[in-house]
């Protein structure tokens, strides 16, 4: 069964910490995406990548960065976590030209 | 810029009743349209998609959606809802050229006995 795996389901971090959210897909997809999901706001795009070492800013990139050193792995980095980054983070991947996004189960991050 | 509106934040239906979830989009050309479902604590699963052709598309779990260009709508329907359909539903729009999908804010569906 094809999968997008997010390393943690639940994460609690302190304000100011550097936080890494990992996402790995086993489908050889070119495209990978990071969204955050908040009640009443739906899914908002943080960053995306169409290829290794390539990244593009989404709608809300402030306070985040990403890394894609290998095709299967796309990491989201919170440089200095803040309480307003408490959210559900969803990773997705797809083939180029296909919109069959496959989503991970999400990481619920709480920053205290 | 593309946008998606899901007018209903929360809908409650009785088990066995029919369901229609509304989705309106704003986009100049022919959009690519999608419906996803999210069960509690889970990621999103693709229910169905429309790219072109027949405007009535069938999806998984007995869902269907109809593309109406004149109304800029892509409403999701199911003739008889089951308790397991309780979830959050997201409409999304994309375009040719591999740009990321834009999602609506979601509609939460509750199913009562």
The mean pLDDT value of chain B amounts to: 92
Q: Name the B residues in 50-69 with CB < 8 Å from any A CB.
A: none
Adjacent-strand bridge partners of A88: A37, A108
Q: Mean pLDDT throughout A25-40?
A: 93
pLDDT at site B28: 66
Among residues A49, A93, A22, A111, which one has the least CA distance to residue B44?
Answer: A93
The region of weakest confidence among A17-21, A32-36, B40-44 is B40-44
pLDDT of A15 over the 70 cut? yes
Distance from CA of A17 to the nearest CA of B (A): 25
CB spacing of A105 vs B43 below 8 angstroms? yes
Adjacent-strand bridge partners of B12: B110
Nearest chain B residue to A91 by CA: give it. Answer: B43
Q: Name the A residues in 43-72 with CB < 8 Å from any B CB.
A: 43, 45, 48, 50, 58
Q: For residue B2, what pLDDT band results from cuts at 50, 70 and 90?
A: confident
Distance from CA of B36 to the nearest CA of A (A): 10
Q: Mean pLDDT throughout B14-40?
A: 91
Among residues A9, A93, A101, which one has the least CA distance to residue A49?
Answer: A93
Q: With H, G, I as helix, E, B as strand and everything else as coil, classify residue B37.
A: strand
List chain A residues with CB under 8 Å of B102: 45
Are residues A111 and A82 in contact, defined by beta-carbon separation less than 8 angstroms?
yes
List chain A residues with CB under 8 Å of B1: none
Minimum-distance CB partner of A101 among B9, B101, B102: B101
pLDDT at site B95: 79
The region of weakest confidence among A41-50, A98-107, B61-70 is A98-107
Distance from CA of A88 to the nearest CA of B (A): 9
Instruction: For residue A40, give both structure tokens.
Output: 């009443």
pLDDT at site A2: 65
CA distances from A68 to A1, A21, B92, B97, B102 (A): 23, 12, 25, 21, 22
The pLDDT tens digits of the residues spanning A64-112 come to 999 999 999 999 999 999 999 999 999 999 988 777 789 999 999 999 9
pLDDT at site B43: 86
The pLDDT tens digits of the residues spanning B29-54 come to 778 999 999 998 888 999 999 988 88
């Amino acid at each position: 069964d094809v999968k997008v795996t997010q390393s943690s389901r639940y994460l609690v971090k302190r304000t100011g910490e550097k936080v890494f959210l990992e996402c790995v897909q086993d489908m050889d997809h070119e495209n990978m995406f990071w969204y955050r999901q908040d009640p009443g706001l739906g899914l908002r795009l943080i960053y995306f990548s169409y290829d290794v070492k390539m990244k593009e800013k989404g709608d809300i990139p402030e306070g985040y960065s990403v890394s894609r050193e290998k095709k299967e792995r796309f990491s989201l980095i919170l440089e200095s976590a803040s309480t307003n980054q408490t959210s559900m983070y969803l990773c997705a991947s797809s083939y180029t030209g296909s919109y069959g996004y496959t989503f991970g189960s999400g990481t619920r991050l709480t920053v205290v | 810029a593309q946008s998606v509106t899901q007018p209903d934040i929360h809908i409650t239906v009785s088990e066995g009743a029919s369901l229609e979830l509304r989705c309106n989009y704003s986009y100049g050309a022919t959009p690519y349209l999608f419906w996803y479902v999210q069960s509690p604590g889970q990621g999103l699963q693709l229910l169905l998609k429309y790219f072109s052709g027949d405007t009535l598309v069938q999806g998984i779990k007995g869902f269907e959606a109809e593309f109406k260009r004149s109304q800029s709508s892509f409403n999701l329907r199911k003739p008889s809802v089951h308790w397991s359909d309780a979830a959050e539903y997201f409409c999304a729009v994309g375009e040719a050229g591999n740009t990321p999908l834009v999602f609506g804010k979601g509609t939460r569906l509750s199913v009562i006995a």
